[in-house]
A = this chain, B = another copy of it.
């Protein structure tokens, strides 16, 4: 067996982060953030900055409680490792839905295009998240999004 490269390890940690969100797995998500009371930061799309483990983890508990369904299709994943820190950028193609309606119907599904910068730090227990910054893509790009419309 070939040992995983650093880049693969970081990409694995990044994927685990989004999979935990998809499953609403708060314990895994909490375990992925660096320990210690300060020094971590998180920006959800359109939100102000959250600093410190308390505020960051509370925000995820709140998001999970209000999200019935969420799926991330990651594209453009780029990993840069320098010593014990890694910066990952990626596009989060998100499909999400709110809590079910009273009549039992699924809540409305919403597609959203978000880009993220995720900073990871190497620890004895693997790569842990130091900072997450997600933001909505509002500007036009040179690419042709029409080409990507599913048939």
Contact = CB atoms under 8 A, between A and B. Distances in A.
A1 to B, nearest CB: 28
B80 A47 contact: no
Copies of this chain, complex-wide, total 2
A83 B83 contact: yes
Interface in A5-52: 38-41, 43-49, 51
Contacts of A138: 45-47, 136
A119 interface: yes
Interface residues of A, number: 37
Contacts of A91: 48-49
Contacts of A45: 135, 138
Where chain A touches its partner, the secondary structure class is strand
Given A46-B135, A48-B115, A135-B45, A83 B82 contact: no
A141 interface: yes
Interface of A: 38-41, 43-49, 51, 76, 78, 80, 82-85, 87, 89-91, 115, 117, 119, 121, 130-131, 133-139, 141
